[in-house]
Amino acid sequence: MRIPIIKTTLVCVLVTIITFPGISQSAPLFGSEGSLSGHFSREGNNGSPSETTRNNIYIKFFPERWIAMLFVPYPYATSVAPEVITQIFQAAKKQTSGSAYLKGEFGHLAEKATVHIERYGYLEDRIVFECGSLAPCTIKLADGSLDLIKPGVITEHIIRYKHIDTP
Q: Where do the domains of the chain lie?
A: 5-164
What pLDDT, on the 0 to 100 scale, is given for residue 23? 38
The residues with which 159 forms a beta bridge, in sequence order, are 148
Stated length of the chain? 167
pLDDT at 120: 96
Residue 62 scores a pLDDT above 70: yes
**pLDDT value, residue 35:** 58
Q: 34: Cβ–Cβ under 8 A, 6 or more apart, which residues?
A: 163, 165
CA separation for the pair 106, 95 (Å, rounded) = 9
> CA–CA separation, 53 vs 135, rounded Å?
20
Under 8 Å between Cβ of 123 and 22:
yes
Give the predicted TM-score (pTM) of the model: 0.79
Q: What is the pLDDT of residue 3?
A: 52
